[in-house]
Chain A
Amino acid sequence: MDELVSLKGIVKHFPGVLANDNVDFTLRWGEIHALLGENGAGKTTLMNILYGLYRPDGGEIYIEGRRVEISSPRDAIKLGVGMVHQNFKLIPSHTILENIILGLKEVGFIINYKKISEEIKKLAESYGWRINPNAYVWQLTAGEKQQVELLKLLYRDARILILDEPTSVLTPQECRILFQALRRMAREGKGIIFITHKLDEVFAISDRVTVMRKGKVVVTKETSKTDISELAQYMVGRPVLFIIEKKESKPSGEAIIIRNLKAFNDKGVPALKGVDLVVMKNEIVGVIGVTGNGQQELVEVIAGLRKASEGSILVDGINIVNSSPDKVIKLGVAYIPPEPLRYSIAPNLTLVDNLFMKAYRYKPYSNGILINWKKIYKKADELIKNFQIISPSLSTKAKSLSGGNLQRLILARELSGLIEDRIPRLIVAAYPTKGLDIGATEFVHKTLIEYSRKGSGILFISEDIEEALMISDRVAVMHDGRIVRMFKPGEVDIEKIGLMMGGVRVASTI
């Protein structure tokens, strides 16, 4: 058969969303195939299906012409498929060699360290890597760790390699080394699938490119037969804009001034590389960009949940960089984290507990050591009405609430001025409408706009360009740890936005 891998008609549902909608995808021998798209496009889901992490609801998988069922990563590895995720699955306290040979029965009872070490060294060299197999993984840089992940697969003769946004943790120099290695692998006949959102990478490394959007394959083309702006168009599409009725905003003073903010992410790689951003009161600033370009780290630093290495954040004249979350909350900064159930909601605690999670320690809800539950319950009733939270009772546990209601709860908690009886100075909302239905989404939008009118500044992170253009007064594009461009909705057209999100420098048109 001509194709190494062939995915036909793949369908995958998740609650509330069709992640893969009848997707066809092929990979040839010796080919580097880029899989391009924004977040939520479905590319990672598709590859997770190929790697056995998910089971498809419909469709077929063929490897080397044979129909296969892949029900777990173990099956995938046996079939020669390997995936390198953004989060490395390595054991830091073991050596490179130990990480690579884990689980291999061929190694024999007693490990012949010398022989295997030689083999690994040679294998690495054949791809242009220089490693010491007896080094400990915790000593390695991100790039080197990635090499170990790849060696894990190559040592097992993987013929199909999937890399999920591999360059997000690499320096430019490391990128070059990686690309060289990938080309050598391709020359050996291996097939490589390269998930990315960076347009320039597509042209640097791939032979073919498939663009996905909203669960569907938009197009598959030979890379040589297309160009950057065409791809950008395919990536973001030509949306019809819904215009929301909103009056012109009259900004009055700054809510937050961020200068040259730098910070590292959890893996020790720089995530914020000098962010400059100002949000005025009465203004909604939407930040768009592919997830993973520093948005999460930005909001965490603002909320006091992550340390910054450099830079300043001024709120009401006070520099809140590296303050405790408590201080930041007190200054009037509200934070709505993404994924409600991760830490912004305590699922086993009641509705009321969650509503007052931050406000419990301020008057009038407590004084000294005791909590005034009467006042709390009274206020809770009010909040539930104002924010239309639907729940059987106040003492229902949060985990029984729907996503939409949870988001209303969070909004009620953060926005309604529980703390010192005033509305927040700055509201930071990260992907607040993700996973919500239309009704809940509209509610979130309406509420944010309402509060911006009341005087709060709003910093709003979104994956959805349409949404951002719809409700923001100004839009910032974030790429690679910096704000690349700020503009008003309508000033810049969609393709250029796509290009910026893809990391391409676009001259400002005046």
Chain B
Amino acid sequence: MSIQWVEQVLQLTVQMGTVYLLASLGEIYAERSGVLNLGLEGMMIMGAAISFIFSIAYGHLSAIFIAAIVGALMGFLLSILAVDMKLNQVVVGLALTLLGIGFSGFFTFPEIRKNILLRLNPSLPVEMLLTQQAEKLPEIPIPLFSDIPILGKMFFSHNVLVYFSLLLSIVMWLILFKTRIGLTIRSVGENPSMADSLGVNVYMVRKATTIISGAFASLAGAYFFIGFHPFWREGVTAGRGFIALALVILATWSPLRAILGAYLFGGVETFQYRLQLFGLGAQSPYFLAMLPYIMTMVTLIIISTESIKKKIGAPASLGIPYSREE
């Protein structure tokens, strides 16, 4: 148990946690405006798949960019189904998740990957066409800061997406609580008819936030793959999208608290593997794995008690489609 060990664990914690953080940031905005995006898992895994293919074909920049676009498109599809057509958000969200998992599963097969890669970039060398892994995003330690013991490794020795996620959380928090746009989003989620009567375009707001949640979920998937674990496997995200949903609740819909929650979950995951190495019995990791979900259940119960509900609760119209009755 040396300082090095602690530093490593913390660094990994942040790296694991970033997946959850990115996904939950977008979802926080969507849920704050009243839309429940159960398609997070599907969008996340699509992001991972897209980043896999495109990082091989064109490189990291295109991978991130295209992943975000695909995620935004999925978010857009969800917005049409849930906001315009006012279909049941649970049902369409689950359908989109299955769709995403299904689509991405295709990329597991080498022939299919080969076909696609060749079409994208005919000049790729053969080994690239058949590889199961991609190049990982480079780590960019921030000079000076990264030398600080413990904290340096924890916050300042990561790839660009991790830094981005931290900055993003702060910016999104500021927007949500200090700007007019943020107030509008929050109000749409609490009382859409009031917002509507005061001139707010409820539909527009909800569509925008849904698109954002899709893009970020996909970005999270892209980060997970090229930023953290660039080995493709079917179902590689293993339910992390749903964990992000849980995280949003644990963070009580606040981007800053999401950082804490994301790293908490990330830490738990990191410990799973560490403990295994310690030979603390191969079983223990599974108990720890349950922890995030149990924590979320407890949070759900606590925020449902009357006294707390008034102060920090779910946005009042979460999951309820809005229609202005004639």
- Residues of A that sit less than 8 Å from B by CB: 72-74, 77-78, 89-94, 98, 101-105, 107-111, 113, 136, 138, 152
Contacts and interface: CB of A to CB of B under 8 A. Distances in A.
Contacts of B180: 101, 104-105, 107-111
A109 B181 contact: yes
Interface string B192-203: 011111111000
Contact of B190 (A94, A104, A110): A94
Contacts of A91: 187, 190-191, 194, 316
Nearest to B191: A91
A77 B197 contact: yes
B179 A109 contact: yes
B62 to A, nearest CB: 32
Interface core residue of B183, B193, B313 (most chain A CB under 10 Å): B183
A94 B315 CA distance: 11
Given A109-B179, A110-B179, A92 B198 contact: no
21 contacts: A74-B196, A74-B199, A77-B197, A77-B199, A90-B191, A91-B191, A93-B310, A93-B316, A94-B186, A94-B187, A98-B186, A101-B183, A102-B184, A102-B194, A103-B184, A103-B199, A103-B200, A104-B198, A107-B180, A111-B178, A111-B179
- 9 smallest beta-carbon distances between A and B, as pairs: A103-B198, A73-B197, A89-B194, A91-B190, A103-B199, A138-B310, A74-B199, A103-B200, A107-B180
B311 interface: yes
Majority secondary structure of chain B interface residues (helix, strand, loop or mixed): helix
B184 A89 contact: no
B32 to A, nearest CB: 11
Contacts of B313: 93
A110 B178 contact: yes
A57 B195 CA distance: 27
A136 to B, nearest CB: 8
A105 B181 CA distance: 10
Contacts of A72: 197
A104 B180 CA distance: 8
Contacts, number: 70
Contacts of B181: 109
Interface core residue of A101, A107, A110, A113 (most chain B CB under 10 Å): A110
Nearest to A110: B179
B167 to A, nearest CB: 18
A111 B316 CA distance: 23
B2 to A, nearest CB: 46
B37 to A, nearest CB: 22
Given A74-B197, A74-B199, A103-B199, 5 more contacts: A89-B193, A94-B190, A101-B180, A110-B179, A111-B183
A298 B215 CA distance: 53
Interface core residue of B180, B193, B196, B311 (most chain A CB under 10 Å): B180
Interface in B175-234: 178-181, 183-184, 186-187, 190-191, 193-200
A74 B196 CA distance: 8
A136 B178 CA distance: 16
Contacts of B179: 109-111
B310 A92 contact: yes
A93 B197 contact: no
Interface core residue of B187, B193, B200, B316 (most chain A CB under 10 Å): B187
Contacts of B191: 89-91
Nearest to B324: A72
A107 B197 CA distance: 18
Contacts of A78: 199
A113 B311 CA distance: 20
Contacts of A102: 183-184, 187, 194-195, 198, 200
B43 to A, nearest CB: 29
A376 B123 CA distance: 78
A138 B196 CA distance: 21
Contacts of B200: 102-103
Contacts of A109: 179-181
Contacts of B194: 89-91, 102
Contacts of A93: 190, 310-313, 316
Contacts of A107: 180
A113 B179 CA distance: 10
Interface core residue of B184, B198, B200 (most chain A CB under 10 Å): B198
A74 B201 CA distance: 11
Nearest to A73: B197
Contacts of B183: 94, 98, 101-102, 111
Contacts of A73: 197
A461 B179 CA distance: 50
A75 to B, nearest CB: 10
Contact of B197 (A89, A98, A104, A108): A89
Contacts of B199: 74, 77-78, 103
Interface in B276-326: 310-313, 316
B310 to A, nearest CB: 5
Nearest to B313: A93
A158 to B, nearest CB: 12
Nearest to B193: A89
A217 to B, nearest CB: 27
B252 to A, nearest CB: 11
Nearest to B200: A103
A28 B312 CA distance: 45
B174 to A, nearest CB: 8
Contacts of A104: 180, 198
A342 to B, nearest CB: 15
Contact of B198 (A74, A110, A111, A138): A74
Nearest to A51: B197
Contacts of A136: 311
A77 B190 CA distance: 21
B310 A77 contact: no
Interface core residue of B191, B196, B199, B310 (most chain A CB under 10 Å): B199
A99 B24 CA distance: 26
A48 to B, nearest CB: 12
